[in-house]
Amino acid sequence: MSSTHSTHDAPAQTVALPPELAEINRNVLDDAVLKKLVDPEVYYAFAQCRATGVPMDKGFATALARSVREWAQSKGCIGYSHWFSPVRGPVHGEKLETFVGVDFDADRLIIALTGRDLFQTETDGSSFPNGGLRETHEAAAYIGWDTGSPPFVYRKTLYIPSAFVSWTGEALDQKTPLLRANMAVNEQGLRLLHHLGDAETTEVVCNVGWEQEFFLIDRSMYLARPDLIAAGRTLLGAAPLRGQELSDHYFARLTPRVNRFMAEARETMWRLGISIRCTHNEVAPAQHEISPIFNLANLAADTNILAMDVLRDLAFEHDLAILFHEKPFAGLNGSGKHNNWGLNTDTGANLFVPGETELESRRFVAFTAALLRGVNKHGDLLRCGVSTAGNDHRLGAQEAPPAIITLHLGEHLERHFRNVADGGPFAAYQTQHKEIEITAPVADIRANLEDRNRTAPFPWCGNRFEFRAVGGNQHIAFPLTMVNAAIADSLKAMCDEADAGKDIDRVVRETIGENQGALFSGNGYSDDLYRHAEKWNLTHLKSSPEAYEALTSEKNVTLFVGLGVFNEREIAARQSVLQDAYATEIGIEARALLRILSTMVAPAALEDVEAVRAGFSSSLLDGKRELVARLLERIDALSGAIDGWPEDDLSRAASYAHGTVKPAMRSARDAADRLEALVDARLWPLPDYSELIHHQ
């Protein structure tokens, strides 16, 4: 090759980094920074505390707190806050405390952060959703630093990621159950590895890479829509003249404003140690996605919440509003949050890579068999994990996997699994690729053997599984807790059989055979899946309230208690919180819709109809009159549905919201949406879908 390149073209060491890249990790107090900040013995004591949960010696904790405070001060912080996740969707809790203290001997202010301040704080647990675990008169709750998740500085405050429990030690947050489920996976995973002959591994960890979808709309449009403000989604709105039909938004260029927004968001997240790798436009106009590189599940859940905060804050500054709701606009794609989920070991193995050696193959099949059993036996829990009022709009609606949870392995791998179940060799499937020839000068492409499946709720992706059913506005810790509890239970069941003397390979073969009903590699958007589910008797919980009921079934209470993920009171409390949140959310929506229809839409439609002088006759005018009459009737019906709300029982309230209120909202909306297409546009009181999605 003739070379016009001299070595001067790429002197890597001397090229200045773009400022955005130079700032990576600047605001995160990760281990690398900590090690430099504190003496080795302090770091060692901290690492011990992290590994065992036993508090640090006071002297070391004081030294650690001083270094942490000084680091934070160097970044402009005047105080700190523990950062925790109440059970209320992706909105963390914080309480700013300053570094100001008092030296009572000298009677003057000092600057201080004690070891105890760093590790824990106390607050009132009764005002957060707690499902009855705390009452107003016995309210104490504790917040404790999750030392596995690094502190960070955001907006000149030092944040300390934390767990949040009641005075009785019961979980009031999203993090604690996830940490416990991770423990269960580790413990049971190690047991299985030992049965497979692996004596070296000492830790099995769960990794997650999330993909966050969202909409960005102009802030003034947002403020003109009371439904977006109250409910995060449009409760009415006729289809836009141009929606996503041409697929011309997907992976298209970002508008200049969104481009500036994304660049700033990425930079801010990089500074916080969030590894944003990919940003792109999604299917619907005004819809976007960002994703980082995977991380330990607990950290992934924290960084997702932090990323959502950053996006919210910056949207405001760019005069945009961000919508994380799963279905902001009827008829346009909604927003999910795929959770790429996998298991790895401290010896560097990825347990969901088919591998090459006999051990690797057996290990891959065994862990996948455990997941298969988890999906088959605990499909109800996985469904529960993605059950929210918002996500019910997506599941099974031709844009997201249905509410039937199956495992998709791909054609070749599924055949291999069936073969193993029948006694075939474990090592017959190795990581395989195929070449795709395009044409010179494009080099041949190395492709995965298995195709990509976007209709499956839980497909295999070559080295991990992708839980695609999670909603865009969920706190991912809860669905991840469900997945990890489901697989931990299966690992446990398999190991129990092996402990009782059954050959482990036989256990694996039988597990696949017994749970093959949950294997489905077809089109999840087609009726085939429903037929398949019926044939194999798979759980199909169509709505969230139905799913919540399953949380406290005997099977599930035994599972949670047995694995130490929730105790009996905690799971009952969780169920109440979910039911309450569901009914409350739909209650807010229903009342918002009623108000908008009564005070904005009906008056505009009536004015329009009344303005039409008698004497004209046309189908347009007749249509309007008829629709106005229909709208008024349906407003009454909606109002009646709201009045009939059962106040006494959470389970009944959630079912009522689903079965009675939602249909009344749908039919009232339908009349309004039809009118929107006919009524004098100058009178229509709300920005329409076109203005909302095309004004970026």
Closest approach of ligand ADP to the CB of residue 211, in Å? 4
**From ligand ADP, Mg ion, none, interface partner of 662 (C-beta below 5 to 8 A by class):** none
**Residue among 306 and 657 whose Cβ is closer to ligand ADP:** 306
Closest approach of Mg ion to the CB of residue 289, in Å? 6
Question: Judged by CB under 6 A, which of 22, 91, 293, 445 binds ligand ADP?
Answer: 293
CB–CB of 329/241 below 8 Å? no
Residue 291 found at the interface with ligand ADP (CB under 6 A): yes
Distances in Å between the Cα of 63 and the Cα atoms of 33, 111, 266, 555 are 15, 14, 34, 48
**Residue among 213 and 497 whose Cβ is closer to ligand ADP:** 213
Angle ∠(119,120,124) on CA atoms, nearest 5: 165
Closest approach of ligand ADP to the CB of residue 465, in Å? 9
Q: Cα–Cα distance between 675 and 668 in angstroms, integer?
A: 11
Closest approach of Mg ion to the CB of residue 290, in Å? 9
**Residue among 92 and 288 whose Cβ is closer to Mg ion:** 288
Q: Cα–Cα distance between 186 and 198 in angstroms, integer?
A: 14
Residue 207 found at the interface with ligand ADP (CB under 6 A): yes
Closest approach of Mg ion to the CB of residue 280, in Å? 8
The single residue listed with the structure tokens 């009675």 is 660
Q: Cα–Cα distance between 535 and 549 in angstroms, integer?
A: 23
Coil, helix or strand for 218?
Answer: strand
Closest approach of ligand ADP to the CB of residue 562, in Å? 26
* φ/ψ bin of 286: left (φ > 0), alpha (ψ from -120 to 50), beta (otherwise): left
- Residues contacting 606, CB < 8 A, separation 6+: 628
**From ligand ADP, Mg ion, none, interface partner of 293 (C-beta below 5 to 8 A by class):** ligand ADP
Distances in Å between the Cα of 342 and the Cα atoms of 170, 375, 514, 549, 672 are 28, 15, 23, 28, 46
Closest approach of ligand ADP to the CB of residue 401, in Å? 13
Residue 278 found at the interface with ligand ADP (CB under 6 A): yes
Q: Cα–Cα distance between 114 and 120 in angstroms, integer?
A: 10
Closest approach of ligand ADP to the CB of residue 204, in Å? 13
**Residue among 251 and 316 whose Cβ is closer to ligand ADP:** 251
Contact pattern from residue 182 through residue 211 relative to Mg ion, giving x for each residue in contact according to CB under 5 A and a dash for the rest: -----------------------------x
Contact pattern from residue 457 through residue 496 relative to ligand ADP, giving x for each residue in contact according to CB under 6 A and a dash for the rest: ------xx--------------------------------
**Residue among 208 and 306 whose Cβ is closer to ligand ADP:** 208
Which residues in 196-229 are b (16+ Cβ under 10 Å) and which e? bebeebeebbbbbbbbbbbbbbbeebbeebbbbe
Q: How many CB atoms sit inside 10 A of residue 571's CB?
A: 21
Q: Cα–Cα distance between 216 and 319 in angstroms, integer?
A: 10
| Shortest-Cβ-distance residue relative to Mg ion | 211
Question: Judged by CB under 6 A, which of 146, 170, 173, 211 binds ligand ADP?
Answer: 211
Biggest CA pair distance of the chain:
93
Question: Judged by CB under 6 A, which of 131, 209, 243, 457 binds ligand ADP?
Answer: 209
Contact pattern from residue 319 through residue 358 relative to ligand ADP, giving x for each residue in contact according to CB under 6 A and a dash for the rest: ---------------------xxx-------x--------
Q: Cα–Cα distance between 384 and 395 in angstroms, integer?
A: 12
Coil, helix or strand for 80?
Answer: strand
**Residue among 461 and 504 whose Cβ is closer to Mg ion:** 461
Give the footprint of Mg ion on this chain (CB under 5 A). 211
Give the footprint of ligand ADP on this chain (CB under 6 A). 207-209, 211, 278, 291-294, 340-342, 350, 463-464
